[in-house]
Chain A
Amino acid sequence: MRILIVEDDREAASYIRKGLRESGHVADHAGDGEEGLEMARAADYDVLVVDRMMPRMDGLSMVETLRGEEDRTPVLILSALGEVDDRVEGLKAGGDDYLVKPYAFAELLARVEALARRRDPETVRTKLVVGDLEMDLLARTVVRDGEEILLQPREFRLLEFLMKHSGQVVTRTMLLEKVWDYHFDPQTNVIDVHISRLRSKIDKPFPRALLHTVRGAGYRLQA
């Protein structure tokens, strides 16, 4: 995957770059919004990681300019701010996801990979399949190995998100944001508890586990 990091803090940029390269991605760096704009126009990137506060041209203006030019490359906005309305502002400017500094690298990586997948042509899928696990989005049913599994509505949404991002790491914060729409971190590990409930329904009665815990990062659903 080819990723452009637009970040004026060189140390932060090299930290992200190094991490992305280690995960097998190609990462370029631009030091400010103007440079970032030029580089984004010149080459075809899969994801842009854009810092909000930068000299010369700030991240939001850069993203707005790109969107004005019909460039739909997914953008992850990084920000040291972090109130809800800052997030709303960032998404309104054309960002696809919003990550508040400081963050763990695993969180950034998971979000970048999730964004890249979003780029795939948006086909209307009515069925999600991971191994022998199948989800029918219209009938709202889940079947594994021919056996129907009864899920609560929230469990259904949680599994739906995991299946849409199968093979990828999703973090606890991502789940809390995308499945529950909460933008704060509860002290207790509420997500772990819900995952373990889901796991007991979709994995426990079967010989092979699909829902894996990724240490220090989150979870991954994989056949």
Chain B
Amino acid sequence: MTQRRAAFLRTTAFRQTLLSAALFALSSFVILGFVYAASAGMVVRRADAVVNDEVQVLNDRFQSGGIDNIRLYILQRTVGGGDYLYLLIHPSGRTLGNLSFLPDVQPDEEGRVQFTYRRPPAGGVDDDNEKEDRIVRGQIVELPSGYRLFVGLDVDDETRLISRMLNTILAASALALALGVAAGIFVSRRFVRRLDKINNVARRVRAGDLQPRAPRNYTGDELDELSENFNNMLDRVEALMHRMRHTGDSIAHDLRTPLTRMRNRLDEALREDGDLDAREQALERAVADTDELLGIFNAILSLSRLEAGESRASIVRLDPAEIAADMAELYEPVCEDDGLSFASEIQPGLAMLGDRGLLSQALANILDNAVKYTPAGGAVTLRLRETGEGMIEFSVTDTGPGIPDVDRERVVQRFVRLDNSRSQPGSGLGLSLVQAIADVHNGRFELNEGPGVVADGHGPGLRASLCFPKAPREAG
């Protein structure tokens, strides 16, 4: 449990927030620290300038009126209190001014001294208990005849203000850090909770339950997007699982017929002990049955590969007219042999991306069906054209019985064979393969009513079309 509670500490969100909080705290510390240093320097510089001016005044007085003139000046200046501090020290040790003594401090390289002295608060009584420590900054001047003079300025208020500022800066930085950490915990807790839900779904799916889906809040944020993708993936997995189960059942079901037939033939051959010819015939037909079975297996295999996207089809830029023309050339004699009239209308000069072998196979499957189901006297037409929407469309129309509206979606599924086709050879995989090939090419496979006239055993016909996007304009 401890491990789970601390889980948010390990999350990326928490670490990110913590890092940015630390960076924010550090940068505010640096900026405010700079402001502090600049302000503190300003106080010092101002005090030094003021003291310099005062020393200048006193020097002038000494020049004009000697030490007495200074005494007089100091007396005048210290009567009403104020921020200026003076101390004149006679060589004998007697002092004059509003400072009681000069502490033993070493001046810095510019001859400045800074120390604390005690002073009653402004407007207070001159009582030792009421006095407060204050900071003064000033300069010591050696006058001729052994006098020493200190001139200073009380900088206590400014210094206090600056030091309060420093405290505030430190506190603000600490607060920023604390808030950042708190925000990090809050954000990552939420993050972890949402992530946990997705993880739970993954665990349940792994355990075999395909039903659960990751919760979504439809804000389109990263986790919502993850959930969406995750759910789409699960939908796809579920569909594939379903199809696999369905295919498995269908395979078992569909293979039973030829297998039974073959078994009976072999059995019959075993019993034909006298008639060698009959035996040979039975064996030959059994071999033909096996070939049919193997054909079905091969079709299943290529279909699975196509659907799983495993067959790395060699998609290249090609001219669909060549494919259509080759197919027309291949099937025209077949149609004529079957008493069907064949025509082709092929638009030249188009370009698409595709695999010649796969596209030819798709067309061959469609044409096979047209030949198989159109009664003699009918017509089969192969067309290639650019549609109004700028797609490349191969279409095969026939004048056979067609496929009823309700069955058109179904026949594309694996192993689906309509009742009137059960007597014909075939695996029920041909159109599934066409669909899969269309998918590989980002194309569309559609079945519609054909141009046939319903009469004399002819149906409305079928129009099978394959639409593909045109190839993008070639570079260069």
Closest to B362 in A: A184
By a CB distance below 8 angstroms, the chain A residues around B364 are: 182, 184, 186
- A106 and B301 CA atoms in complex are apart in Å by 24
In the complex, the 10 A-B pairs of residues with the closest C-beta atoms, listed nearest first = A187-B368, A184-B361, A193-B333, A186-B364, A193-B334, A83-B311, A193-B337, A188-B368, A84-B357, A102-B294
- The answer to whether B302 touches A83 (Cβ under 8 A) is yes
- The answer to whether B329 touches A187 (Cβ under 8 A) is no
- The answer to whether A85 touches B314 (Cβ under 8 A) is yes
A92 close to chain B: CB less than 8 A: no
From known contacts A182-B360, A184-B364, infer whether A83 and B305 are also in contact, taking CB-CB under 8 Å: yes
- The answer to whether B357 touches A182 (Cβ under 8 A) is yes
- A182 and B365 CA atoms in complex are apart in Å by 13
By a CB distance below 8 angstroms, the chain B residues around A184 are: 357, 360-361, 364
Within 8 A of A (CB), among B295-316: 295, 298, 301-302, 305, 311-314
Given contacts A180-B326, A182-B360, 6 further A-B contacts (CB under 8 A): A84-B311, A84-B355, A104-B291, A187-B425, A190-B330, A194-B333
Instruction: Mark A residues whose CB is within 8 Å of B.
Output: 82-85, 88, 102, 104, 152, 154, 180, 182-190, 193-194, 196-197, 216
Prevailing SS type, chain B contact patch: helix
By a CB distance below 8 angstroms, the chain B residues around A197 are: 333
By a CB distance below 8 angstroms, the chain B residues around A183 are: 357
- The answer to whether A216 touches B284 (Cβ under 8 A) is yes
- A154 and B328 CA atoms in complex are apart in Å by 12
- The answer to whether B326 touches A188 (Cβ under 8 A) is no
Q: Interface size for chain B: under 10, 10 to 19, 20 to 34, or 35 or more residues?
A: 20 to 34
By a CB distance below 8 angstroms, the chain A residues around B294 are: 102
By a CB distance below 8 angstroms, the chain B residues around A88 are: 314
Interface string of B312-336 (1 = CB under 8 A from A): 1110000000000010011101100
- The answer to whether B301 touches A84 (Cβ under 8 A) is no
Within 8 A of A (CB), among B384-439: 425-426, 430
User: Of A83, A185, A188, A194, which contacts B372 at CB under 8 A?
Assistant: A188
B371 close to chain A: CB less than 8 A: yes
Chain B min CB distance to A184 (Å): 5
Within 8 A of A (CB), among B333-348: 333-334, 337
Chain A min CB distance to B399 (Å): 18
Closest to A187 in B: B368
- A154 and B295 CA atoms in complex are apart in Å by 27
Chain B min CB distance to A175 (Å): 11
From known contacts A183-B357, A187-B426, infer whether A85 and B312 are also in contact, taking CB-CB under 8 Å: yes
Chain A min CB distance to B424 (Å): 9
- The answer to whether B291 touches A188 (Cβ under 8 A) is no
By a CB distance below 8 angstroms, the chain B residues around A190 are: 330-331, 333-334
User: Of A82, A85, A104, A185, which contacts B301 at CB under 8 A?
Assistant: A82
Interface centre among A102, A180, A190 (most CB of B within 10 A): A190
- The answer to whether A186 touches B368 (Cβ under 8 A) is yes
Closest to A195 in B: B333
By a CB distance below 8 angstroms, the chain A residues around B329 are: 152, 154
- A1 and B159 CA atoms in complex are apart in Å by 111
- A194 and B331 CA atoms in complex are apart in Å by 9
Closest to A215 in B: B284
Closest to B371 in A: A188
28 A/B residue pairs, CB under 8 Å, sorted by A: A82-B298, A82-B301, A83-B302, A83-B305, A83-B311, A84-B314, A84-B357, A85-B311, A85-B312, A88-B314, A102-B294, A152-B329, A154-B329, A182-B357, A182-B361, A184-B357, A186-B364, A187-B365, A187-B426, A187-B430, A188-B334, A188-B368, A188-B372, A190-B331, A193-B334, A194-B330, A194-B333, A216-B284
By a CB distance below 8 angstroms, the chain A residues around B430 are: 187
- A102 and B293 CA atoms in complex are apart in Å by 11
Interface centre among A154, A185, A188, A197 (most CB of B within 10 A): A188
- A150 and B216 CA atoms in complex are apart in Å by 71
- A83 and B301 CA atoms in complex are apart in Å by 9
Chain B min CB distance to A77 (Å): 18
- A195 and B140 CA atoms in complex are apart in Å by 126
Closest to A102 in B: B294
Interface centre among A82, A83, A152, A189 (most CB of B within 10 A): A83
